[in-house]
Amino acid sequence: MNDLRQLRHFVALAEHGHFARAAEAVHLSQPALSRSIQALEAQLGCSLVDRHSRGISLTAHGQLVLEHARRLLAGSQALSNAVSQLDNLEAGELRLGAGPYPAARLVPQAVGRLLQRYPRVQVRLEIGNWLELRERLLEAGVELFVADVRELQDDPQLQIEALQVHAGVLFCRPGHPLLRRAALRLSDLLDFPLAGTQLPQAVERSLGAASGRPQPLSVQCDNFLVLKRLVADSEVLSMAPWDVIAEEVAAGQLSLLPLAPASLQQQSAYGLVSRAGHSLSPAAQALVEEIRRADRQPLPPRR
């Protein structure tokens, strides 16, 4: 294959599910796109799509080729970015992933500082849980990510750098009924919904044992900004590492619940994750420096 154009055309067709829409997306006529797909099928010696009146569906070969095509295209983009950044960080693209908690404070601070130094670098940020981000990293969709790493530690395909540990806290809105109770007990929490991001297995087991509920979370959402808004506007409780709500607590926008039995004491496990044996692009290396700097920044004291 002389270039990656046919793969780009095929990925567009798979994503749009229709020749006309895919042709428009890649700025080709529909006959030209059809010829490109036919040429790819001839090269590979297999049928990639089943054509029908409502569009297309992928064959088993098509599913396999799509997986590899996405990987090749992402790798090609990564190579282009690395080369363009080699001598000059005024160009290029950085594809970064972040878990919900690092995305709430650490990563935005680091990206902001990076763009202050290199305003022309383009950053593509994906937010997800550690399982989704691991998959994106291994398929070259992101170059590195920052997330909870406690379930990734033994993965030989990953290189992990641990970051600061922050105590887990339980929080609610100011004026929540639980704040008026003189002696707060664990059983008191069970009267209110608990919201949080996807939990590592160890944390889920601990919370489940403490609450007596197989599913301890009433609301699961990997967007922590949504969770904070939900808590601020309702009786819902949530838990998080201290660093991501420290400023809101200091400003009186959220309140800590004075309860920390051993069964609920959790800590953050943030880590910088990249592919083992793969060097980072200059932009990614610069971002790692900024993440380390932001990670050392002092937080408001807990009261």
Establish if 82 belongs to a structural domain.
no
CA–CA distances in Å: residue 231 to residues 96, 138, 246, 280, 282: 28, 35, 15, 38, 39
Q: Identify the sign of the CA torsion 199, 205, 209, 213.
A: positive
Establish if 51 belongs to a structural domain.
yes
- Residue 262: the pLDDT is 45
Residues 257 and 275 in one domain: no
CA angle 125, 112, 162 (to 5 degrees): 70
- Residue 3: the pLDDT is 67
The answer for 60, left when phi > 0, alpha when psi is -120 to 50, beta otherwise, is alpha
DSSP 144-196: EEEEE-TTTTT-TTEEEEE----BEEEEE-TT-GGGG-SS--HHHHTTS-EEE
Residues 178 and 32 in one domain: no
Residues 156 and 176 in one domain: no
- CATH number of 259's domain: 3.40.190.10
- In the beta sheet, which residues pair with residue 145? 97, 273
Residues 150 and 213 in one domain: no
Residues 127 and 156 in one domain: yes
DSSP classification of residue 92? -
Establish if 80 belongs to a structural domain.
no
- In the beta sheet, which residues pair with residue 241? 168
Establish if 160 belongs to a structural domain.
yes
pTM check: above 0.75: no
The residue from 45, 70, 95 where one domain ends is: 70
Picking from 286, 220, 302, 238, the residue whose alpha carbon sits closest to that of residue 81 is 286
CA angle 81, 14, 24 (to 5 degrees): 80
- pLDDT tens for 24-66 read 888 889 888 888 888 888 888 888 888 887 788 899 998 888 8
- pLDDT tens for 257-300 read 887 544 455 788 999 999 998 888 888 988 999 999 999 988 88
Establish if 139 belongs to a structural domain.
yes
Residues 153 and 274 in one domain: yes
Residues 138 and 182 in one domain: no
- CATH number of 57's domain: 1.10.10.10
Q: How many domains does the chain have?
A: 3
Residues 179 and 199 in one domain: yes
Tell how strand 168-172 and strand 255-256 pair up: antiparallel
Domain holding 161, by residue range, is 87-165+269-295
Q: Are 256 and 171 in contact, with CB atoms under 8 Å apart?
A: yes
Average pLDDT for consecutive 10-residue bins of the chain (303 residues)? 76 88 88 89 88 86 86 72 59 87 95 91 92 89 93 93 92 94 80 87 72 78 92 94 93 86 67 90 90 91 74
Residues 160 and 27 in one domain: no
Establish if 183 belongs to a structural domain.
yes
Establish if 207 belongs to a structural domain.
yes
Residues 145 and 177 in one domain: no
Establish if 76 belongs to a structural domain.
no
- Residue 152: the pLDDT is 94
What value does the mean pLDDT of the chain take? 86
Residues 255 and 277 in one domain: no
Residues 251 and 225 in one domain: yes
